[in-house]
Amino acid sequence: MKINKKKFIYLISPLKIRKSFYSDLIKVFKTNKVSFFQLRLKKESLKQKVIIGKKIKRICKNYNVKFLINDDVFLTKKLNADGCHLGQKDMNVSDARKIIGNKIIGVTCHNSIKLAKDALLKKADYLAFGAFNLSKTKKVKYKASINILKKAKKITNKPIVVIGGINSDNYRKLLLNKANFLAISGYIWKNKKKRPIEAINKII
């Protein structure tokens, strides 16, 4: 996985896709700051996920953004997405590989180097740690610190994704401590003061 220092944002979808979402997504991608886009829909039917996924996949392709699916290896295969992200309660990496082959697989490691080592043994492509801040998107069960980033960097050269309440006020500290990608969702899609394009432009 190549790391482009300018494209350090790992953008996660809102839980509900509205009509205005697609035009907002194009504007956000045009900033050339996004490397990954993760589709994270919990409540939609499979049929709706496929319809939405196909549209987003086309947009991702146009802007050279890797298209990932949250949790669902079978949807990843069905959409021929670039990869998937697995939580600790999802399918393990080895079984996922049998289904989607050499696609990108990232793993949630919360705040645990033990989980990170396990994911690396199973040949995960990137490790995700968090939450680094309070999040509007998910309840924070695990709190991660800058220290976990430093420890992770000592054991692997694989990309590190950081997650949890990241916004224009707190993102710099994570990049300065060598996080490769910032997973952002609520700050872009649920921002009451700024439209998505205004929000992303605050992250330089």
| CATH number of domain containing 56 | 3.20.20.70
Has residue 120 been placed in a domain?
A: yes
> Exposed, middle or buried, 109 (CB in 10 Å: 0-12/13-18/19+)?
buried
The pLDDT tens digits for 27-39 are 999 999 999 999 9
Q: What is the pLDDT of residue 5?
A: 64
* Cα–Cα nearest to 189, from 4, 6, 32, 39: 39
Which of 49-58, 131-140, 164-173, 177-186 comes out lowest in average pLDDT? 131-140
User: What is the count of structural domains for the chain?
Assistant: 1
Has residue 58 been placed in a domain?
A: yes
Has residue 87 been placed in a domain?
A: yes
The pLDDT tens digits for 64-115 are 999 999 999 999 999 999 999 999 999 999 999 999 999 999 999 999 999 9
What six digits make up the tokens of 155?
A: 């054991």
Has residue 4 been placed in a domain?
A: no
Has residue 2 been placed in a domain?
A: no
**What single DSSP character describes residue 122?**
T
- Structural domain range at position 39: 9-201
Rounded mean pLDDT of 39-51? 95
The pLDDT tens digits for 157-197 are 999 999 999 999 999 999 999 999 999 999 999 999 999 99
Amino acid at 135: S
Has residue 3 been placed in a domain?
A: no
Full DSSP string of 68-100: EEES-HHHHHHHT-SEEEE-TTS--HHHHHHHH
Q: 106 forms bridges with which residues in the sheet?
A: 85, 126
